[in-house]
Amino acid sequence: MIIGLLSLRGGVGRSVLSRALAQKFSAPVYELEVGLPKLWPAEEKEKEVVWGRLSRFKREKCDLCGDCVKQCQFGALSLEGETIKHRGPFCHGCGLCKEICPKKAIELKEYQVGEIVYGTTDGIELFAGRLLRRTPLEGTVIKKLKERFPLPSRAILKAPCGLHGEALSGLKEAEALILVTQPWDRLTEEIKLFGELTQGLGLGGMVIVNQVREEVSVASWCTAYGLFYAGEIPYLPGFQGDLLKAWPEGEAFWDRVRQHLEGGK
**Part of the chain binding another protein (CB under 8 A), chosen from 10-18, 20-28, 78-86, 223-231:** 10-18
Under the binding rule (CB under 8 A), the answer on residue 33 touching another protein is yes
Cα gap 167→36, rounded to integer Å: 13
Distance of CA 121 to the CA centre of its chain: 19
Under the binding rule (CB under 6 A), the answer on residue 94 touching ligand SF4 is yes
Residue 258 interacts with, from another protein, ligand SF4, none (CB under 5-8 Å by kind): none
* Residue whose CB is less far from another protein, 131 or 209: 131
Under the binding rule (CB under 6 A), the answer on residue 63 touching ligand SF4 is yes
Nearest residue to 95 via CA among 83, 84, 112, 109: 109
Under the binding rule (CB under 8 A), the answer on residue 151 touching another protein is no
Under the binding rule (CB under 6 A), the answer on residue 103 touching ligand SF4 is yes
Residue 91 interacts with, from ligand SF4, another protein, none (CB under 5-8 Å by kind): ligand SF4
Q: Where are the alpha helices (DSSP H) in the chain?
A: 14-25, 67-71, 96-100, 138-148, 165-168, 187-201, 219-224, 243-246, 251-263
* Residue whose CB is less far from another protein, 25 or 158: 158
Query: How many residues form the binding site for another protein (CB under 8 A)?
Result: 53
- Classify strands 176-181 and 204-212 as parallel, antiparallel or unpaired: parallel
* E runs forming strands in the chain: 2-6, 29-31, 43-57, 77-80, 83-86, 106-121, 124-131, 155-158, 176-181, 204-212, 227-234
Cα gap 93→37, rounded to integer Å: 23
Indicate which single residue of 126, 190, 206, 232 sits in contact with another protein (rule: CB under 8 A).
Answer: 190
Under the binding rule (CB under 8 A), the answer on residue 226 touching another protein is no
Under the binding rule (CB under 8 A), the answer on residue 138 touching another protein is yes
Cα gap 186→178, rounded to integer Å: 18
* Residue whose CB is less far from another protein, 89 or 152: 89
Q: How many residues does the chain have?
A: 265
Under the binding rule (CB under 8 A), the answer on residue 96 touching another protein is yes
Under the binding rule (CB under 6 A), the answer on residue 77 touching ligand SF4 is yes
Q: Where are the alpha helices (DSSP H) in 111-242?
A: 138-148, 165-168, 187-201, 219-224
Where does this chain bind ligand SF4 (CB under 6 A)?
55, 62-68, 72, 74, 76-77, 84, 91-97, 101, 103, 105-106
Residues in the site for another protein, rule: CB under 8 A? 8-12, 33-38, 40, 53, 71, 73-74, 89-90, 92-96, 99-100, 131, 133-134, 136-140, 143, 160-169, 172, 186, 189-190, 193, 196-197, 200-201
